[in-house]
C-alpha cells in the first residue's frame, strides 16, 4: 500500500507532533465553549418567544428558554463582544491547529477501517464547521453579504454542526491530548532555542515527520508567532466594542469609525442603519406623532407633548450582533410612563413599530424590558436632539437589548395586556 | 468475544461508533432547520468551499511560499523568520479584513453605517509596511549586536 502512495505532499517540519497539536487543542478547548455559548445566548437575546429570533424554528437546538435580562445593562455588550472578539482572536489558533495536523489530511492509505472513515467524515464537519463559522462571521461583521443566503440561519446551523463534531472530537481525543501534554514540559519548551529544538518522539498518529528538516524556528517561536497573531487581531478588534478613544484602533473594521462627520458632537457615534437607508419619506417626520395603543382608546402624542412629559436620562449601550457597541447618555420618556399614558400600566409585552419597513422595522419587548426604569423612548442623546441617523424624532433604548431591537424612527407602540 | 469481533470489523470500540453517530445525527438534525430554505445548497457549497479553500488552496500556497523562502541564500537558517512574521501578519489581516480592503459590499456598508470603505486599503498597506519595517529593524539590530 505504501509503495502505491501517490505523490502526496511530504511534511518535514520538525515541530509538528502530538504535544504541539495538544497545546493548540487545549487552548481551543478552553476558549471555544465561550464563543459557542455567547453565540447561543444571542439567539435568546433576540426574543425567540416573540418569533423574532432567526432562524425561527430551531427544534430542540437552543439553550433553555428564559427572558433575556435587563440587568446589567452591559450584558449583551459583554456576551456579543466576547462572541465576536474572542471568535476573531482565536482565528490564528485555529489556523495553527489545522497546520499542526496537516499530515493527517494526506494520510495513506486514506481509509483503514470503517471507524476511521466515520471519523474522517466527522472531521470534515469539524473543520468545515469552524471555517464556515469564521468566514460567515467575518463577512457579516463587515456587512459583506456576498454569500447571498441568510447569515443568521447559516451561522446558527453551522454552529450546531460544528458543536456536534467538536464534542465528538474532544470525547475521542481528550485522553490523547492529556497524555501528549504530559510528554513535554511547557516551561522547558519556552526556554529552548532554535538550535536545541528537536523533533518530538515518533508517534502513532503520523504527526511527527519521519524525515524532519532542520529547525528554522523553535516551539517557543511558533507559540509566540500564534500568540502574537492573536494579540494583533485583538488590538485591531477590541476598539469596536470598548469604544471611546480606543475605537480608532480598529483601523480595518467599519465600526472603528463613528460617523462621516467625525465632529465629536453629541450624535457622533456609530450608526446602525442610516436614515437614507431606511427609505423613510422625510415628509412623514413633519407631522409626526407617536401612537400608543392597547388601552381603552388610542393615544396620540406629538413631539412637543412628548417633550413636556417627565424626562429621564440613562447611560446605556447600543450593542449590536456584529460585536460593536457604544455607550451614550440618552434622554427621553420612560416606556413604563408611556404604558401608563396608554392605559396599560402593567403590560405583558409591547410591540414597537418604526416608520420604516423591512425585517427589523418592529420589535417586541418583554414586560421587564418595558417596565425597567431606564427603558426609554429617547428623544435626545448627550443633551442634543437625536440626529436623523440615530432615529429622530424618537427611538427605543432598553438596557441589555440587542442593538437592532432598539427601534429607531418609532411610529407606534402597542402595549399588550396579560 | 462479541466486543472483539465488533472491534475487528469496525476498527474501534462501540463507544467510538456511538459518539460519531450521535455527532452526525446532530449535524443532520441541525441541517434540517434550513431544509426549507431555497438557498440551503449554497450554504452547503460554502461549507465545502471553506474546507477546500483552506486545505487545497491556502495551506499549499503558504507551504509553497515558505519552501521558496527557506531556499533563499541566507546567513543563518532563522533569517527566514524576519520575512515569515510580517508576511503571516499581512496574510492574516488581509484575509480577515478582506471586504473592507477590496471594497466589497460597499453599498450595504454605506447604508448600515453611513461610511464608505475608502480608508481600509491604505490603512492595511500602512500596517503591512509597519510590520515589515519593525521586522527589518529588529533584524538589523540583532545582526549588528552579533558582530
Do the beta carbons of residue A325 and residue A81 sit within 8 Å? yes
Q: For every one of its 418 residues, what pLDDT tens digit does chain A have, with 9 covering 90 and above?
A: 556 788 888 899 999 999 999 999 999 999 999 999 999 999 999 999 999 999 999 999 999 999 999 999 999 999 999 999 999 999 999 999 999 999 999 988 889 999 999 999 999 999 999 999 999 999 999 999 999 999 999 999 999 999 999 999 999 999 999 999 999 999 999 999 999 999 999 999 999 999 999 999 999 999 999 999 999 999 999 999 999 999 999 999 999 999 999 999 999 999 999 999 999 999 999 999 999 999 999 999 999 999 999 999 999 999 999 999 999 999 999 999 999 999 999 999 999 999 999 889 999 999 999 999 999 999 999 999 999 999 999 999 999 999 999 999 999 999 999 8
**Considering CB atoms only, which of A131, A132, A153 is closest to B37?**
A153
ipTM over 0.90: yes
SS3 A195: coil
Inter-chain residue contact B31 with A157, CB threshold 8 Å: yes
Chain B residues within 8 A of A171 when measuring between CB atoms: 19
State which residue of chain B sits closest to A390, comparing Cα positions: B113
Q: What is the pLDDT of residues A71-102, one digit of tens each?
A: 999 999 999 999 999 999 999 999 999 999 99
> What does the pLDDT read at residue A82?
98
E-strand ranges in A266-310 read 289-293, 299-302
Most A CBs within 10 Å, among B43, B74, B75, B142, to test the A interface: B43
Do the beta carbons of residue B69 and residue B80 sit within 8 Å? yes
Inter-chain residue contact B12 with A115, CB threshold 8 Å: yes
| Chain B touched by A231 (CB under 8 Å) | no
| Chain B touched by A224 (CB under 8 Å) | no
> What does the pLDDT read at residue B145?
87
- Chain position carrying cell 440613562: A314
Do the beta carbons of residue A352 and residue A50 sit within 8 Å? no
> What does the pLDDT read at residue A107?
87
State which residue of chain B sits closest to A224, comparing Cα positions: B85
- Closest approach of chain A CAs to the CA of B136, in angstroms? 16
d(CA A52, CA A320): 15
Chain A residues within 8 A of B37 when measuring between CB atoms: 149-150, 153
Q: What is the pLDDT of residues A230-258, one digit of tens each?
A: 999 999 999 999 999 999 999 999 999 99
Chain A residues within 8 A of B23 when measuring between CB atoms: 122, 125, 164-165, 167-168
d(CA A273, CA A161): 31
d(CA A117, CA A113): 6
Most A CBs within 10 Å, among B6, B25, B30, B131, to test the A interface: B30
Inter-chain residue contact A125 with B46, CB threshold 8 Å: no
- Closest approach of chain A CAs to the CA of B118, in angstroms? 10
The radius of gyration of chain A's CA atoms, rounded to the nearest angstrom, is 26
Q: What is the pLDDT of residues B82-116, one digit of tens each?
A: 999 999 999 999 999 999 999 999 999 999 999 99
Chain A residues within 8 A of B134 when measuring between CB atoms: none
State which residue of chain B sits closest to A278, comparing Cα positions: B111
SS3 A311: strand
State which residue of chain A sits closest to B40, comparing Cα positions: A149
Instruction: List the Cα angle A115/A120/A125 in 5-degree steps.
Output: 125
SS3 A266: coil
| Chain B touched by A143 (CB under 8 Å) | yes
> What does the pLDDT read at residue A2?
56
d(CA A70, CA B55): 44
Stated pTM of the model? 0.97
> What does the pLDDT read at residue A3?
61
Chain A residues within 8 A of B75 when measuring between CB atoms: none
| pLDDT above 70 coverage of chain B, percent | 99
SS3 B16: helix
- Closest approach of chain B CAs to the CA of A347, in angstroms? 32
pLDDT(B76) > 80 = no
| Chain B touched by A90 (CB under 8 Å) | no
| Chain B touched by A277 (CB under 8 Å) | yes
| Chain B touched by A254 (CB under 8 Å) | yes
State which residue of chain A sits closest to B88, comparing Cα positions: A229
Amino acid at each position: 500500500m505504501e509503495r502505491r502512495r501517490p505523490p502526496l505532499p511530504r511534511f518535514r517540519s520538525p515541530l509538528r507532533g502530538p504535544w504541539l497539536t495538544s497545546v493548540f487543542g487545549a487552548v481551543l478547548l478552553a476558549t471555544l465553549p465561550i464563543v459557542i455559548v455567547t453565540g447561543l445566548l444571542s439567539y435568546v437575546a433576540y426574543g425567540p418567544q416573540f418569533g423574532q429570533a432567526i432562524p425561527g424554528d430551531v427544534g430542540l437546538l437552543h439553550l433553555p428558554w428564559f427572558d433575556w435580562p435587563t440587568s446589567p445593562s452591559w450584558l449583551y455588550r459583554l456576551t456579543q463582544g466576547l462572541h465576536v472578539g474572542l471568535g476573531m482572536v482565536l482565528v490564528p489558533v485555529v489556523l495553527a491547529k489545522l497546520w499542526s495536523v496537516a499530515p493527517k489530511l494526506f494520510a495513506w492509505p486514506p481509509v483503514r477501517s470503517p471507524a476511521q472513515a466515520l471519523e474522517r467524515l466527522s472531521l470534515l464537519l469539524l473543520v468545515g464547521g469552524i471555517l464556515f463559522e469564521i468566514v460567515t462571521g467575518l463577512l457579516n461583521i463587515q456587512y459583506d453579504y456576498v454569500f447571498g443566503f441568510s447569515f443568521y440561519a447559516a451561522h446558527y446551523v453551522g454552529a450546531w454542526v460544528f458543536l456536534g463534531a467538536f464534542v465528538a472530537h474532544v470525547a475521542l481525543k481528550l485522553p490523547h491530548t492529556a497524555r501528549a501534554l504530559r510528554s513535554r514540559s511547557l516551561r522547558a519548551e519556552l526556554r529552548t532555542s532554535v538550535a536545541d529544538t528537536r523533533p518530538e518522539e515518533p508517534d502513532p498518529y503520523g504527526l511527527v515527520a519521519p524525515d524532519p528538516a532542520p529547525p528554522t524556528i523553535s516551539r517557543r517561536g511558533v507559540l509566540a508567532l500564534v500568540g502574537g497573531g492573536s494579540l494583533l487581531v485583538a488590538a485591531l478588534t477590541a476598539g469596536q466594542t470598548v469604544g471611546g478613544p480606543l475605537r480608532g484602533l480598529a483601523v480595518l473594521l467599519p465600526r472603528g469609525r463613528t460617523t462621516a462627520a467625525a465632529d465629536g458632537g453629541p450624535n457622533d457615534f456609530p450608526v446602525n442603519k442610516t436614515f437614507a437607508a431606511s427609505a423613510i419619506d422625510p415628509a412623514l417626520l413633519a407631522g409626526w406623532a407617536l401612537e400608543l395603543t392597547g388601552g381603552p382608546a388610542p393615544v396620540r402624542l406629538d413631539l412637543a407633548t412628548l417633550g413636556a412629559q417627565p424626562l429621564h436620562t440613562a447611560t446605556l449601550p447600543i450593542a449590536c450582533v456584529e460585536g460593536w457597541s457604544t455607550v451614550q447618555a440618552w434622554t427621553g420618556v420612560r416606556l413604563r410612563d408611556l404604558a401608563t399614558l396608554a392605559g396599560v400600566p402593567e403590560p405583558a409585552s409591547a410591540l414597537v413599530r418604526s416608520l420604516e419597513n423591512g425585517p427589523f422595522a418592529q420589535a417586541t419587548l418583554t414586560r421587564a424590558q418595558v417596565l425597567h426604569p431606564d427603558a426609554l423612548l429617547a428623544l435626545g442623546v448627550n443633551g442634543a436632539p437625536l440626529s436623523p441617523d440615530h432615529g429622530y424624532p424618537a427611538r427605543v433604548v432598553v438596557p441589555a437589548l440587542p442593538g437592532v431591537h432598539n427601534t429607531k424612527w418609532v411610529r407606534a407602540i402597542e402595549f399588550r395586556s396579560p | 468475544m462479541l466486543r472483539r469481533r465488533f472491534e475487528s470489523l469496525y476498527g474501534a470500540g462501540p463507544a467510538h461508533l456511538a459518539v460519531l453517530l450521535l455527532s452526525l445525527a446532530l449535524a443532520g438534525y441541525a441541517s434540517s432547520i434550513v431544509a426549507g430554505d431555497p438557498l440551503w445548497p449554497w450554504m452547503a457549497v460554502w461549507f465545502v468551499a471553506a474546507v477546500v479553500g483552506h486545505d487545497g488552496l491556502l495551506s499549499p500556497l503558504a507551504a509553497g511560499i515558505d519552501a521558496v523562502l527557506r531556499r533563499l541564500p541566507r546567513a543563518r537558517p532563522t533569517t527566514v523568520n524576519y520575512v515569515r512574521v510580517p508576511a503571516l501578519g499581512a496574510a492574516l489581516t488581509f484575509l480577515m479584513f478582506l471586504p473592507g480592503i477590496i471594497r466589497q459590499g460597499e453599498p450595504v456598508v454605506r447604508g448600515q453605517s453611513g461610511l464608505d470603505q475608502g480608508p481600509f486599503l491604505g490603512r492595511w498597506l500602512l500596517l503591512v509596511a509597519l510590520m515589515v519595517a519593525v521586522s527589518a529593524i529588529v533584524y538589523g539590530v540583532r545582526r549588528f549586536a552579533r558582530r
